[in-house]
Amino acid sequence: MNDDLKNLGQMTPPSPSPAARARALSLAMQAFDESENNSKAPQGTAGARRQSSILNRLWSPIMNRKFLAGSALATLLVVPAAAFLTLELTRGGFPVNPDSQQVEVASGVASKGAEAKKAAPSKPEADLAVETPVDSHAVTQMPDTLAGQANDGVIAEPAARARADDEATASYPAPLPSDQKSVGAASNLERRTQFAAPSSAIATDSMAAGSMAEIMPFPIPAPVDTLAQREENRDRFTSAEINPVKSVATDPVSTFSADVDTASYSFVRKSLMAGQMPDRDSVRVEEMINYFPYDWPGPDSKDAPFKATVTVLPTPWNANTRLMHVGIKGFDVALDVAPRANLVFLIDVSGSMDEPDKLPLLKSAFRLLVEKLKPDDTVSIVTYAGNAGTVLEPTAIKDKAKILSAIDTLQPGGSTAGAQGVEAAYALAERAFVKGGVNRIMLATDGDFNVGPTSDEDLKATIEAKRKSGIFLSVLGFGRGNYNDALMQTLAQNGNGTATYIDTLAEAQKSLVEEAGSSLFPIAKDVKFQVEFNPQQIAEYRLIGYETRALKREDFNNDKVDAGDIGSGHRVTAIYEITPKGSPAVLNDDLRYGASSKVEADAKPSGELAFLKIRYKQPDSDTSKLITTPVTEGNAVTTLQQAGQDVRFSVAVAAFGQKLRGTDAVSAYPYGSILDLASGAKGEDAYGYRAEFLNLVRLAKSLGGE
């Protein structure tokens, strides 16, 4: 053994991979934290934690970022940390938790937990176990022959497995919480999607963590406690209660704003492909439904910019209720006759954007959009990080090389002065304002507006005021870890724009190229829906989704109340679950004192089930117009199969979104049934969106334990 160790000492090992270096640094920091957390507080220090440990808590996540891993600075910091680790190992500074599942190594014998405490080695044996500390870098890079020989109680297995661990670290999704199952299909699906980057450079899968546990003589933290997981937990979403079942007798009118955003679907997809069930608050069912293109019949002219198609069909998850499905198609403006566009790219280049799925993906997305614009359209670029700056003055698309060069020069760094950036972007938009054209700011960010004197309320007020001048704002979200979805939704809604989440280059192609008309060119603003149900026919109803878009009944006719905007060719789908009169599924009892009977007596005899009203404004008008559509049994089909493919597929998406969100109504409806319903309604799928949805349902099914 001594000869082998001597030979090892004379070798010049290859440079460690960035992933192995980062993992070793992470483990050293965690070991240091563990020792500090179990140390008694010295005199003069409040609390049980030393000041050095508090400082370490601040800089440890920073040092673990991949832009330091593998750098000279990281090496300078790893060496002292490794020296301290060696000292602690020598003096037994890392206490053993008898309840843990760590592997303790002594004299070549591995034992676990309390058993290792009972069979503690003698002093010489213990000294031998820590006499030669194991360098995980060397283990990873060591030739197989030597690695196989140098396993005398320290190195537990050959380097081949360690290298496999490194490869797994680089290609696998982020680790799962201990109560979730990993899904191999997730990594396969992710490889088929462009720009689907791993969540963190230091994330380790269960296999890598397992082998490290066998060779490192201190506790390996559970995967759920990795830095990547903690970063992801900082994403912020608006919490909204799921729409309740309402009684038609007491509350017959439902009012809500149109919503054509799709950010929720992309975020849900990214979570599932990372092997994690999405945060329930991140699931907005209407955005998942409206993500897909449907072939609803459209209007004949822009004078009547919408056409509604209503279908009443059986509910797949409840035989005693029905679904009232409303599909709206907006007038499609041909791009060759679309008005001129004055666009300002407001780009977050702060330090938090230094991730593969953030600024690099953002730059590629905007390059795609530039290629789609017309020669007389103009583009400006404003960046913000610490201070806002103008990168590109208003420039015509015919000077495309100058625009693309400005995009390519963007680099991350600094804090996030979002408020200053917004103000600078509006100043540029006003300077290049196109009367009668499209004037729009496109904010691209991970949602972090953490520096600047302006509050969120001030930002919203500024955006609302500029909206009245004809300058709209749309939001493109990127990345995970500190994504402020709640603020992004608010800014887009107040700016008469859309909120999109770009997780892959394919999503950028869909949102900014294939759907450029609907993203850029509005055909109507302040679009509101109101449905009145007939108490003679319908006992109860529940609107699926649109929780954050609910309006008061009186808001429908109030032209001062802002609502959603619809672009060229946009499709809007809304689905109600309705309970017929006399159905055993009725949840609310009749009122004791006759209010229900009075409502029915006052109602006019009618075969109508409901009455749909749509109110909207032309983009250049402040006065709304009204479109009405009665809903009767003539709109009904008797079986699910009689409904069109698009109707059935959108219902499957609605069921999936509700299940992810934890809606009680679909709790007993399994993912397998959703998969069958969607598969049978897949139809033509030119871009593969529906096939991808089927894969996401399979992932959720596996993660959900079905």
pLDDT in tens, 269-278: 999 999 999 9
Residue 393 banded pLDDT, cuts 50, 70, 90: very high
The pLDDT of residue 179 = 41
pLDDT digits 0-9 by tens, 454-509: 566 777 788 888 888 889 999 999 988 778 888 888 888 888 889 999 999 999 99
Inter-CA distances, 601 with 236, 596, 598, 607, Å = 48, 9, 5, 15
Q: How far apart are CA 322 and CA 302, in angstroms?
A: 33
pTM over the 0.75 mark? no
Residue 7: pLDDT over 80: no
The pLDDT of residue 652 = 98
pLDDT digits 0-9 by tens, 142-180: 334 333 333 333 333 334 434 444 443 343 344 344 344
Residue 414: pLDDT over 70: no
pLDDT digits 0-9 by tens, 324-361: 999 999 988 877 778 899 999 999 998 888 999 999 99
Beta strands in 305-377 (DSSP E): 306-315, 318-330, 341-348
Mean pLDDT, residues 310-320 taken together: 98
Residue 89 banded pLDDT, cuts 50, 70, 90: very low
Mean pLDDT, residues 383-387 taken together: 78
Quote the Cα angle for 373-438-297, to 5°. 80
* Winning range, highest mean pLDDT, from 29-33, 45-49, 701-705: 701-705
Residue 319 banded pLDDT, cuts 50, 70, 90: very high
Residue 184 banded pLDDT, cuts 50, 70, 90: very low
Q: Which has the higher per-residue pLDDT, 39 or 430?
A: 430
The pLDDT of residue 321 = 98
Element (H, E) at 595: helix 595-602
Dihedrals φ, ψ of 325, to 5°? -105, 125
The pLDDT of residue 69 = 43
Whether the CB-CB separation of 237 and 281 falls below 8 Å is answered with yes
Residue 187: pLDDT over 70: no
pLDDT digits 0-9 by tens, 448-464: 665 454 566 777 788 88
> Rounded mean pLDDT of the chain?
75
The pLDDT of residue 99 = 43
The pLDDT of residue 52 = 39
- Give the percent of the chain with pLDDT over 90: 45
Domains and CATH numbers, the chain: 2-232 (no CATH), 246-333+522-703 (2.60.40.1230), 337-504 (3.40.50.410)
Whether the CB-CB separation of 647 and 313 falls below 8 Å is answered with yes
Q: How far apart are CA 516 and CA 493, in angstroms?
A: 19
The pLDDT of residue 418 = 62
Q: How far apart are CA 61 and CA 492, in angstroms?
A: 32
The secondary structure of residue 557, as a DSSP letter, is: G
pLDDT digits 0-9 by tens, 561-614: 999 999 888 999 999 999 999 999 999 998 888 655 555 556 665 789 999 999
Whether the CB-CB separation of 626 and 613 falls below 8 Å is answered with yes
The pLDDT of residue 204 = 36
Beta strands in 154-293 (DSSP E): 246-247, 253-257
Long-range contacts of 35-41 (CB under 8 A, 24+ apart): 35/88, 35/93, 35/94, 38/95
Q: How far apart are CA 243 and CA 544, in angstroms?
A: 7
Structure tokens at 484: 């402020």
